[in-house]
């Protein structure tokens, strides 16, 4: 197993006013740090079996209670990173998790960098690169379908397909090399035609895989749909209709929308980044000119332009 030199900690839940927040710790000192920062009746975390869920309190150095918490203990190698991991499940909101994280840093943790837990999981052989990438895709998924594809990849679907091609190519290379090394030997099962057919099959498999890349990217990143046109043609009305709520101002005055407005929607399982823009026309008003410049800017990054015209 890859030896990680230090113990890292981070708030694992998104910021905001959720009811629960999780602070995750991973590394060789996890349990010792939990002993210092968590108190409960019964044995300290380092003397508990694993996995275990313990009710108690996160505490400061002077024993002051920081928050009521559940401590989840997962010893190496049976954890996400394959290191010793503890997770503090505390109250959500802006303060509790931040105070616990601060306390853990006082106790010797280093704040984790982005994706560092997943990086350790990869380095410790818990997952391969395709799966590590899938974790990020799953976290960032904007639609059910994108999440389902990421989950499939996380379970090794992409790796199995690339492994099949790799193993086959390796078999072909071995056959070829042995036929070169032992030309006069009658190697069983060797024929150039069979090898050619296998190679052809692998080329097809690579093509299919490469062909699915565009759809995969669309699913993962979504498509940017920019609604553009002259002023007062109904762009914002269409934007609100597709979004299902009154997000942008609609009015009979030409030049209502100035800034670009963006929102995610899901169409048939695909994530769509919908962009409303200012109506494009010459103007002497510097604010409107800026809006028009931004609208034109949006056109170059659009996956699809919905050009709206007055009927």
Ligand X SMILES: Nc1nc2c(ncn2[C@@H]2O[C@H](COP(=O)(O)OP(=O)(O)OP(=O)(O)O)[C@@H](O)[C@H]2O)c(=O)[nH]1
**Residue 231 partner contact from Mg ion, ligand X, none using kind-dependent CB cut-offs of 5 to 8 Å:** ligand X
Window contacting ligand X (CB under 6 A); options: 19-27, 192-200, 250-258, 297-305: 250-258
Pick the binder of Mg ion from 257, 261, 271, 274 (CB under 5 A).
Answer: 257
In sequence order, the 6+-apart residues with CB closer than 8 A to the CB of 286 are none
Tell me the angle at which helices 157-181 and 129-140 cross, rounded to the nearest 10 degrees.
Answer: 160
Taking the complex as a whole, the smallest distance from the CB of residue 285 to ligand X amounts, in Å, to 12
| Residue pair 301/223 in contact by the 8 Å Cβ criterion | no
| Residue pair 264/183 in contact by the 8 Å Cβ criterion | no
Q: Does 254 bind ligand X (CB under 6 A)?
A: yes
**Residue 254 partner contact from ligand X, Mg ion, none using kind-dependent CB cut-offs of 5 to 8 Å:** ligand X
Pick the binder of ligand X from 83, 231, 273, 298 (CB under 6 A).
Answer: 231
For the stretch 50-87, what's the b/e string if a residue is b when 16 or more beta carbons lie within 10 angstroms of its beta carbon? beeebebbbbeeeeeebbebbbbbbbbeebbbbbbbbb
Taking the complex as a whole, the smallest distance from the CB of residue 301 to Mg ion amounts, in Å, to 19
**Residue 234 partner contact from ligand X, Mg ion, none using kind-dependent CB cut-offs of 5 to 8 Å:** ligand X
**Residue 237 partner contact from Mg ion, ligand X, none using kind-dependent CB cut-offs of 5 to 8 Å:** ligand X
Total interface residues for ligand X by CB under 6 A: 16
End-to-end CA distance of the chain: 67
**Closer of 254 and 285 to ligand X (Cβ):** 254
Taking the complex as a whole, the smallest distance from the CB of residue 34 to Mg ion amounts, in Å, to 54
Pick the binder of ligand X from 234, 260, 290, 302 (CB under 6 A).
Answer: 234
Parallel, antiparallel or unpaired: strands 65-74 and 52-59:
antiparallel
Pick the binder of ligand X from 7, 118, 124, 232 (CB under 6 A).
Answer: 232
Element (H, E) at 100: helix 96-106
Pick the binder of ligand X from 244, 252, 282, 286 (CB under 6 A).
Answer: 252
Q: Does 283 bind ligand X (CB under 6 A)?
A: no
**Closer of 46 and 237 to ligand X (Cβ):** 237
Strand boundaries in the chain, DSSP class E: 8-11, 20-26, 38-39, 52-59, 65-74, 85-91, 110-111, 223-229, 261-267, 270-276, 304-308
Parallel, antiparallel or unpaired: strands 223-229 and 304-308:
parallel
Listing DSSP states for 37-72 in one string gives HEE-SSS-GGGS-SSEEEEEEEE-TTS-EEEEEEEE
Q: Does 240 bind Mg ion (CB under 5 A)?
A: no
Q: Does 237 bind ligand X (CB under 6 A)?
A: yes
Mapped onto helix, strand or coil, the DSSP state of residue 74 is: strand
User: Does residue 77 have a cis bond before it (omega within 30 degrees)?
Assistant: yes
Pick the binder of Mg ion from 236, 274, 288, 298 (CB under 5 A).
Answer: 236
Taking the complex as a whole, the smallest distance from the CB of residue 271 to ligand X amounts, in Å, to 23
Mapped onto helix, strand or coil, the DSSP state of residue 114 is: coil
Window contacting ligand X (CB under 6 A); options: 26-34, 49-57, 80-88, 227-235: 227-235
Binding-site ranges for ligand X (CB under 6 A)? 231-237, 250-252, 254-257, 278-279
Q: Which residues are near Mg ion by CB under 5 A?
A: 235-236, 256-257
């Amino acid at each position: 197993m890859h030896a990680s030199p230090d113990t890292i900690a981070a708030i694992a839940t998104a910021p905001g006013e959720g009811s629960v927040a999780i602070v995750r710790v991973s590394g060789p000192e996890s349990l010792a740090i939990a002993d210092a920062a968590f108190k409960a009746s019964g044995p300290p975390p380092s003397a508990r079996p694993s996995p275990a869920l313990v009710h108690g309190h996160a505490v400061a150095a002077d024993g002051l209670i920081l928050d009521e918490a559940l401590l989840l203990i997962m010893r190496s190698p049976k954890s996400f990173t394959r290191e010793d991991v503890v997770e503090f499940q505390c109250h959500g909101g802006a303060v509790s998790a931040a105070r616990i994280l601060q306390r853990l840093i006082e106790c010797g943790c280093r704040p984790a960098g982005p994706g560092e837990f997943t990086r350790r999981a990869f380095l410790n052989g818990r997952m391969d690169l395709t799966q590590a990438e899938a974790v990020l895709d799953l976290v960032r998924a904007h639609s059910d379908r994108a999440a389902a594809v990421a989950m499939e990849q996380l379970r090794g679907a992409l790796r199995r397909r690339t492994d099949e091609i790799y193993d086959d190519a390796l078999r072909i290379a071995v056959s070829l090399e042995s036929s070169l090394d032992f030309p006069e030997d009658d190697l069983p099962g060797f024929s150039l035609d069979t090898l050619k057919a296998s190679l052809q099959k692998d080329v097809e498999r690579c093509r299919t895989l490469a062909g699915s890349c565009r759809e995969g990217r669309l699913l993962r990143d979504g498509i940017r749909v920019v609604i553009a046109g002259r002023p007062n043609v109904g762009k914002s009305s269409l934007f609100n209709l597709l979004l299902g709520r009154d997000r942008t101002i609609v009015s009979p005055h030409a030049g209502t929308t100035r800034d670009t407005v963006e929102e995610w929607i899901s169409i048939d399982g695909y994530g769509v980044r919908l962009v409303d823009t200012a109506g494009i026309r010459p103007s002497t008003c510097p604010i409107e000119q800026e809006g028009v410049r931004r609208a034109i800017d949006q056109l170059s990054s659009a996956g699809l332009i919905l050009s709206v015209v007055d009927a």
